[in-house]
Amino acid sequence: MKISILIANAYGMGGTIRTVFNLAGGLAERHEVEIVSLVQHAEEPFFTLPDDVTLKALLPIGRMAEGREPPGWLDQWRERRTPWTVPESELRSNKFITARTEREMRDYLRRTDADVVMGTRPGINLLLAKWAPSRLLTIGQEHTHLGNHEPDLRAAIRRRYPRLDGMAVLTEADRQRYLDFLRPPPGWLATIPNALPPGDYPRSSQENPIIAAAGRIAPVKQYPKLLKAFSMVARVHPDWRLRIYAGGRGQDNLRARIARMGLGNQVTLMGRTRDLPGELAKASLLAVSSSTRGSG
């Protein structure tokens, strides 16, 4: 059986991307698996692609599009046009879902030889429900909880998710919310927590005075709130340190905030890491300041 997993941008760094790679690696032990990225902004993905998993992108962007023939007037119009299938709140939270990537995804679904196609966020799930041919088995995944979605997105979910052949959510609590919200048939909805590949992982000795935090620099991560909380700790326990493993835009602003708060000697922006389990093992505490999480 061939399984295709659709994701907005497989070449970046983030929890959903890491989880998708883990899932693909596990499924590849029994099936043919490909990850399909709506866009490609880098030559290679940040995370290592699992063995026996293929990766393809539908639309090069940024420097990956340099040297290519510029888009014609029709594609330029598509890039400006709002995909009417996806609500505004979802478009605000993911810039890679555009009318042009919708068209690319629609064309992909028409020609793919996959047996099963999985979506990995609400916008992709909605497009999958709308455009997937009936010959495909369609599965949606949610990496956040139902209560986190805006009213326009919840309305679209109620209208279109039942067209999917199945859904997976992260927690049993969220599964119950979706059962109450959608009233799906038995067996349609499953709880599948995020998983790690098998192996031995380092464990913290809990002896180092280090607090770790990880995730992209974005408002939802609430790093300013984390810094405010840590400043209270720093005054009483000056030997403790905060390490933030984060990438993306906003590092300069966050670094300036750290300096203004007088925390330059105790807070370090560590940048991105491909070995987060190893880095977490050096710390004694993990701080999660996000305003919302798919699972605790």
Identify the CATH number of the domain defined by range 210-286.
3.40.50.2000
Residue 50 CA to residue 31 CA, distance in Å, equals 13
Digit-coded pLDDT (tens) for 152-185: 999 999 999 999 999 999 999 999 999 999 999 9
pLDDT of residue 167: 98
CATH class of domain segment(s) 2-191: alpha beta
pLDDT at 227: 96
Q: What proportion of the chain, given as a percentage, has pLDDT over 90?
A: 70
What does the longest C-alpha to C-alpha distance in the chain come to?
63
Residue percentage of the chain with pLDDT more than 70: 94
More confident residue, 294 or 150: 150
Rg of the Cα atoms in the chain: 21
Residue 236 phi/psi, 5-degree rounding, is -90, -30
Domain with CATH 3.40.50.2000 in the chain: 2-191, 210-286
User: How confident is residue 296, by pLDDT bands cut at 50, 70 and 90?
Assistant: low
